Amino acid sequence: MRAIFILFAKVGKQQHFELGKYLRRRYRKLIGTRYSADKVYIRSSDTDRTLMSAQCNAAGWFEPTEGEVWNKALAWQPIPIHTVPYNEDYLLVHDLICPRHTQLYKEFTESTKFKYNMNRSADLISFLSLKTGRTLSNPIEVMYLIMLLEEEKERGFDLPSWVNDISRYTNDTLEQISTIHMESFTHTNEMKKIKAGFLIKEMFDRFKNKSLSLLQPHLSIWAYSAHDLNIVSVLNALNLYELHVPPYASSLFFELYRQNDSYFVQLFYRKTPTENVPALNIPNCGTMCPLDKFYVLYRHILPTDYEDFESLCRLST
């Protein structure tokens, strides 16, 4: 038995279509090639880009087979993409208002470690501000700049010549600065619980229910179309993150396996268009981790049954 969870990052239409075809190959034996609402559930954050990514992915994943074709001129069929209002989505929306997390993040940005990382990049940030004509004052602005430069490179545009001069100002790269920012959202265990714990708990509670045959319907795959920060936060919460910006078409796979009467979890992180992806080595558990042990290892970042997003976001008194 296998049950699958997938997280999608922001990508272009063609890249997600190709990822969908990869998923069709990867899970053919589990669910076949035909879409079934009893086997697959796709959820997206309520933003245009992630909804479009999910649609493009589903177009490649569930291209109509014989008997499903409804328009011979169109190799496509409608697949449901589920979502919830943006301001209610504590699973996938990273900038959802949370006073306690804002407080913790501010404390971290005022820490010696954070200030050191920013100060060592001060010359580079000044240089970028000069060349772009915009005052860059924090890592998130640098992150948006690197995303813009990467997008221009992907589209075949020539990058400005000053990009080659970055190394003269610092040993840091644009990517290192932006990943410091991405990691900072889940710097402490409490921040990990707020930003990633609910999503991780939802996935593993479903794995548990899957193992007990309690799911209605008895789905085999849940897919989440979300953001690069979701991938970073989940990996960081699980102590698996190495500083980097998730590339376009990145996907994180959680897979449940049954061996005799025991259940195990494997994690895979696909960053490039490759067919064979090695399993991640889960700290203190290995590449094939018992489901029950997974709960024990990460109990400090999983919300309890008595904790909800609102209660965790209240400011300490």
Q: How far apart are the first and last CA of the chain?
A: 47
Q: Give the residue among 252, 208, 207, 213 at the shortest CA–CA distance from 234.
A: 252
pLDDT value of position 145? 77
- Give one DSSP letter per residue of 25-69, joined into a string: HHTHHHH-SS--TTTEEEEE-SSHHHHHHHHHHHHHHT---TTT-
The tokens describing 35, both together, are 């879409």
- Least Cα distance to 269 among 290, 246, 291, 292 occurs for 246
- CA distance linking residue 43 with residue 7, whole number of Å: 10
Query: Tens digit of pLDDT for each residue in 6-56?
Result: 665 444 788 899 999 999 999 999 999 899 999 999 999 999 989 999 999
Rounded to an integer, what distance in angstroms lies between the CA atom of residue 281 and that of residue 89? 30
The pLDDT value given to residue 116: 75
Task: Say whether pLDDT at 153 is over 70.
Answer: yes
pLDDT per residue over 126-135, tens digit each? Answer: 888 888 888 8
Q: How far apart are CA 149 and CA 166, in angstroms?
A: 13
Question: Is the Cβ–Cβ distance between 291 and 208 less than 8 Å?
Answer: yes
CA dist 273 and 102 (Å) reads 36
Q: What's the pLDDT score for residue 20? A: 95
Which CATH superfamily does the domain covering 2-94+186-309 fall into? Phosphoglycerate mutase-like (3.40.50.1240)
Q: Which pLDDT band holds residue 2 (cuts at 50, 70, 90)?
A: low
Classify strands 221-225 and 40-44 as parallel, antiparallel or unpaired. parallel
For the chain, the structural domain boundaries read 2-94+186-309, 99-184
Residues 259-314: tens digit of each pLDDT = 988 999 999 999 988 888 999 999 999 999 999 999 999 999 999 988 999 999 99
Residue 60 has pLDDT above 90, yes or no: yes
pLDDT tens string 154-208: 677 788 888 777 666 655 566 666 677 788 899 999 999 999 999 999 999 999 9
Kindly state the average pLDDT of the residues 70-88.
93
The yes-or-no verdict on residue 87 having pLDDT over 90 is yes
The pLDDT of residue 288: 95
Strands 251-259, 289-290: parallel, antiparallel or unpaired by DSSP? unpaired
